[in-house]
Amino acid sequence: MDMVEDVLAGRVRGIARMMSRAEAGGGDCRAALAEIYRHTGRAHVVGLTGVPGSGKSTLARVLARAIRASGRKVGIVAVDPSSPFSGGAILGDRVRMTGLSGDPGVFIRSMATHGAVGGLARASLDSVDILDAAGFDIVVVETVGVGQDEVDILQAAHTVVVLSAPGLGDDIQAIKAGLLEIADIHAVSKCDRADANRTLIDLKGMLTLGVAGGDGWQVPVLPTSAENDEGIGDLLAAIDAHRAHLEDSGGIALRRRRIAETRILGIAEDIVRTRFAGRHDGRLAGLLDRVMAREVDPYAAAMDMLAASRED
């Protein structure tokens, strides 16, 4: 199991190769990943999300620099969407992540969603495990743009940072309603722009309308500007404060449990989905004919599929 040794020793090639194996999802890597999992639990996992173009990758870059300046190692897992048609992907997050190269304390990995929701969570979380076991103190998971897809991955983070960009107008109201529930920290990007104040005021206003969460954490709204390198230190301080709050309040244990629960369920869903796709093409086609002929309803057909997958 020298690949596990390479990961635990923090060797770049070993880490990178292990991530590829995990992403491929073959059975041969499960034993190695199981061994790696035993060495996890030290890293603080920060989820970074926001609408497309809000500046997640740029923020990840300046945040990584701040983390390095504080003497800690940082891993970044940057997720971009796969094409629903070809399955291919353009992973462009590295375009914004300049100036981090050549530093062994920074590891950046780009990943595609590969369609499956469960697949996204599984492979990305495997990569988080690998970075954790390799000794990275903070792992930043940068999601694709906001939607339903990345709820899984946000439930995988100890601290969730939601990034909003100024100038999104009326649409922001709808977006914020969904985000308020998952944000531990609100950050506003591009605060060198004049209209950023409006966004800050809107977010703060929205937060005062709701009942504060029962865990005693006050969700901060922080202005940032990667352009002028402003607010980044405050953001890192807020992340550290949230971590300290979780540890003091015992909330960290609840989060870890929730993360494990999400992963177990996600992996189980993934296995069922793979079984359906791989082994039941003929059965599905037959059921489809019968559903089309109104002989059975879709619910009964789904139950039939489930029963069949239990048999193998």
Partner 1 sequence: MSEKTGVIRVLLAKVGLDGHDRGVKVVARCLRDAGMDVIYTGLHRTPEEVVDAAVQEDVDVLGVSLLSGAHMTILPRMIDLLKKTDADDIILMAGGVMPDEDVAALKKLGVGEVLLQDAPPETIVGTVRRLVAERGPR
The residues of the shown chain that bind partner 1, judged by CB under 8 A, are: 12-13, 15-17, 19-21, 23-26, 82-83, 85-92, 94-96, 98, 101-102, 107-110, 112, 114
Alpha-carbon distance of 47 to 63, in angstroms, equals 12
Q: Two tokens at 177? A: 């309603």
Nearest distance in Å: CB 80, partner 1: 9
Nearest distance in Å: CB 81, partner 1: 11
Cα distances from 84 to residues 23, 107, 160, 267, in angstroms, run 18, 28, 27, 21
Nearest distance in Å: CB 243, partner 1: 26
Nearest distance in Å: CB 211, partner 1: 43
Q: List CB contacts of 13: < 8 A, sequence separation 6 or more.
A: 6
Q: Give the three-class secondary structure for 170.
A: coil
Which is nearer to partner 1, 118 or 223 (by Cβ)?
A: 118
Burial of 243 (0-12, 13-18, 19+ CB in 10 A): middle
Cα–Cα nearest to 128, from 152, 147, 102: 152
The secondary structure element, H or E, covering residue 306 is helix 298-311
Nearest distance in Å: CB 145, partner 1: 17
Nearest distance in Å: CB 122, partner 1: 12
Which is nearer to partner 1, 70 or 274 (by Cβ)?
A: 274
Which is nearer to partner 1, 112 or 187 (by Cβ)?
A: 112
Which is nearer to partner 1, 12 or 264 (by Cβ)?
A: 12
Which is nearer to partner 1, 17 or 39 (by Cβ)?
A: 17
Which is nearer to partner 1, 134 or 246 (by Cβ)?
A: 134
Q: Two tokens at 237? A: 């301080």
Q: Two tokens at 199? A: 């966004």
